[in-house]
Amino acid sequence: MRAYDFWTKTGTVDVGPFPIASLSLRPSGQATANELQMMFPPAMPVEQQLVVADRVLAGVQRWRDGIARAAEEQRTAADDLAEARAEIARLKAEREGGAA
């Protein structure tokens, strides 16, 4: 199965405690929103569940880190642009002040 959906500000992540240890992802808080719920087979040993959970956590961490890098790059670009505009304004003011 392959499904696609878009996260919204109201998206949620819920977990169920061991022994069920479910992970529920709902990209939107709407009652009719899609939901993905993951669970382990009842016979899977808890140590194997931990290995899987660690692998999921590592994947989510990489996803989050990529978003954080993009956000930082955008902040840096916006800061650089603001500094350049301020410098241009300063130079224009200096030129206009010197020409008078």
Same domain? 83 vs 99: yes
Same domain? 50 vs 83: yes
CB atoms within 10 A of CB 8: 13
Same domain? 52 vs 25: no
CB atoms within 10 A of CB 26: 19
Same domain? 14 vs 52: no
Same domain? 32 vs 52: no
pLDDT in tens, 35-80: 999 999 999 999 999 999 999 999 999 999 999 999 999 999 888 9
Same domain? 33 vs 51: no
Same domain? 62 vs 97: yes
> What's residue 99's pLDDT?
61
Same domain? 25 vs 56: no
Q: Is the whole model's pTM more than 0.95, yes or no?
A: no
Task: Tell me how far apart the alpha carbons of residues 28 and 93 are, in angstroms, rounded to a whole number.
Answer: 50
Same domain? 52 vs 100: yes
Same domain? 99 vs 53: yes
Q: Count the domains in the chain.
A: 2
> What's residue 3's pLDDT?
79
> What's residue 70's pLDDT?
94
Quote the mean pLDDT of the chain.
91
**Domain span holding position 17:** 1-39
Categorise residue 39: left if φ over 0, alpha if ψ from -120 to 50, beta otherwise.
beta
Contacts of 24 (CB under 8 A, 6+ apart): 12, 13, 14, 15, 16, 35, 36, 37, 38
